[in-house]
Amino acid sequence: MGYFKPIPETLDELKSAYRKLAMQHHPDVGGDGETMKAIINEYEALFNRVKSFHRNKDGKIYEKETNETPEEFRDIIEALFKIKMADVDIELIGSFIWLTGNTKPYKEEIKALKFRWSQNKTAWYLPPEGYRRRSRKHYDLEEIRTMFDSEIIREKKSDNKPMQYKIGA
């Protein structure tokens, strides 16, 4: 134990920390398999502690039950690594995973992962399990980024350069 320091207070913070660690230690990006297994074990142990805690757009923590399991999120991240999408940004905004950039060549794989297409944002998104839209307001992607924490976890590949990985917004 000890990869998740400080210990996250909410499920979104735990997921964000897991993604950062996966970007550094996943075998597909040159990391060590044993270290990644230890990170997964710690993630699963912490998941049950924080799974009901979320942070709203005002920064306040609230409690809401979830049926999500640690394996579901971990499997999505693993599946996105396996697709190896060049010229696509993977971004976490709040509890949603967003895919932007040249996603057309990967459309079928993205749909198979249960991502939804947002025509007005020209982006794919994966909402948290059980998400229901309650507001009739429409926000563009930049407005959503300012309301919730935003973190790009893969940077687009530029001309003839290898894929670059980036942690942080």
What tens digit of pLDDT does each residue of 74-132 get?
888 888 888 888 788 888 887 789 999 999 999 999 999 999 999 989 999 998 877 77
In a domain, 24, yes or no: yes
In a domain, 1, yes or no: no
In a domain, 118, yes or no: yes
Provide the domain limits for residue 50: 11-154
Question: Which candidate, 125, 138, 14, 109, places its Cα nearest to that of 66?
Answer: 14
Please tell me the total count of domains within the chain.
Answer: 1
Going through 85-162 in order, the beta strands assigned E by DSSP cover 88-93, 96-101, 116-118, 123-126, 150-154
In a domain, 71, yes or no: yes
pTM of the model: 0.63
In a domain, 5, yes or no: no
In a domain, 164, yes or no: no
Buried b (16+ CB within 10 A) or exposed e, 133-164: eeeeeeeebeebbeebebbbbbbbbeeeeeee
What tens digit of pLDDT does each residue of 29-42 get?
788 889 999 999 99
In a domain, 23, yes or no: yes
In a domain, 41, yes or no: yes
